[in-house]
Amino acid sequence: MATPYHRLFGLRSLNGMVRAFDKETRLNTMFQDLFREKGRQMETEGTDETIEWDETQLSRSLAPIVGRDSPHPMRQNTVTINRTSSVAHIKEGKFIHAHKLYGERGPGELKANAELFVDLQIRDLVKRAKNTIEYLSVNTLNGTVTVNPTTVPGSKVTFTIAYAPNTYTATNSWATLATRISSQEIPALKQDHLQASGLLPRRALIGGTIQGNIAGNTEFQNLMRDRLGPEVAQSAGTLFGQALGGFELGDLTWDVNEAGYVPDGGVFTRFIPATDDLFLLPADEDLPDVLGMALGLGLVPGNDVGPADMAAELIRPAPQRGFYSYAVRSLNPLGVWIYVGWVGMPLLVFPSGLTVADVVP
């Protein structure tokens, strides 16, 4: 049985803690949850740095009509495009001095609580990692993921992943009150998405500015006056989650996201980079053909090194993909190092299945 000292200073996996904190508030995880829960789950080969998949393009043309005794016209085999992407390695760590472990009281408690204090430090590291995953997820939807020390401060690597999602520009600005958003703009947007992807659009992701444009639109207000006016008016200032009072305008579900992050020493920055961009996606059952979440394996230390005949391997793959964590004791100075990491990358496996629409041109 592990002693209290071993639980605090022993070299052991903390993945159970990470999994628990992985279920915390979804405020800053809307987009990564979309990739992880609705998209295709993909795995790297071992600890590879890249993920690889095949995109198969089926024909969208008509089959000809021929005579009863005519031979079958022959067609080319389906087109398969091999695609690859880098995965991101997010690593965070903290050193906790011994006096913190044995002298720091737990929040709301009157006595020292070393385990709770360690839990809080892990939670802080996981939260920072999730903010970066959310940044990667939103920018994947936007078509370009750019990582460098400027876009993601402190980054030690530089790379860009570019996709070619379907793009659309509204005929008339949605910021103009007289624009016929419901009867003209949304049908035209949906038609463009269907023609580009062959998939029926069903979900719209927007920022608060677009939600305000719709709520203040003259045509929309006339439409809602005798139906869901109070509910829509109440939801006009929604910052996260279901938009427009749950009304499925244009047979679309609308979700708004005004969440963001605050860089060290910086100011609040929204995850959605442009307030006039709208992300249009198909129904949940079609999302595995459009979105993907690749997860890789990090590396963690092996077991404590004991007698020579019991020595375990020094390094091994983490026991699970995605998040991993471990702790290492320090004797000089006395304390413990805690580490949290994540290996993965949100992906657009079928870029044409996503439409990025500029509705305030």
How far apart CA 29 and CA 127 sit, in angstroms, is: 10
68 occurs within a structural domain: no
The one-character DSSP state at 280 is: E
The one-character DSSP state at 71 is: P
Question: Residue 344 above 90 pLDDT?
Answer: yes
71 occurs within a structural domain: no
pLDDT recorded at residue 222: 86
66 occurs within a structural domain: no
Two structure tokens written together for 345 = 């990358």
The mean pLDDT value for 318-338 works out to 87
Question: Residue 14 above 70 pLDDT?
Answer: no
281 occurs within a structural domain: yes
CATH number of the domain encompassing residue 341:
3.90.1690.10
The pTM for the full model equals 0.83
Is residue 98 very low, low, confident or very high in pLDDT (cuts 50, 70, 90)? confident
> Under the phi-then-psi rule, with left for phi > 0, alpha for psi from -120 to 50, and beta for the rest, what region is 245?
left
Is residue 263 very low, low, confident or very high in pLDDT (cuts 50, 70, 90)? confident
Two structure tokens written together for 41 = 């789950």
pLDDT recorded at residue 237: 62
Contact 359/185 with Cβ under 8 angstroms? yes
177 beta partners: none
How far apart CA 317 and CA 299 sit, in angstroms, is: 5
Count of domains in the chain? Answer: 1
Q: Summarize pLDDT for 277-314 with one digit per residue, the tens.
A: 899 999 999 999 999 999 998 888 876 544 444 444 67
Which H or E element spans position 196?
helix 186-197
How far apart CA 128 and CA 339 sit, in angstroms, is: 12
199 occurs within a structural domain: yes
Is residue 61 very low, low, confident or very high in pLDDT (cuts 50, 70, 90)? low
Range of the domain at 333: 4-55+80-358
pLDDT recorded at residue 82: 74
282 beta partners: 201
Residue-averaged pLDDT of the chain: 81
How far apart CA 48 and CA 297 sit, in angstroms, is: 8
| Residue 46: partners with Cβ closer than 8 Å, 6 or more residues away | 297, 317
What is the chain's Cα-based Rg? 25
> Under the phi-then-psi rule, with left for phi > 0, alpha for psi from -120 to 50, and beta for the rest, what region is 340?
beta
pLDDT recorded at residue 235: 55
pLDDT recorded at residue 221: 85
Phi and psi angles of residue 50, each rounded to the nearest 5 degrees, phi first: -130, 160
Contact 301/52 with Cβ under 8 angstroms? no
Q: Summarize pLDDT for 156-193 with one digit per residue, the tens.
A: 888 898 999 999 999 999 999 999 999 999 999 999 99
pLDDT recorded at residue 340: 92
63 occurs within a structural domain: no
119 occurs within a structural domain: yes
8 occurs within a structural domain: yes
Question: Residue 201 above 60 pLDDT?
Answer: yes
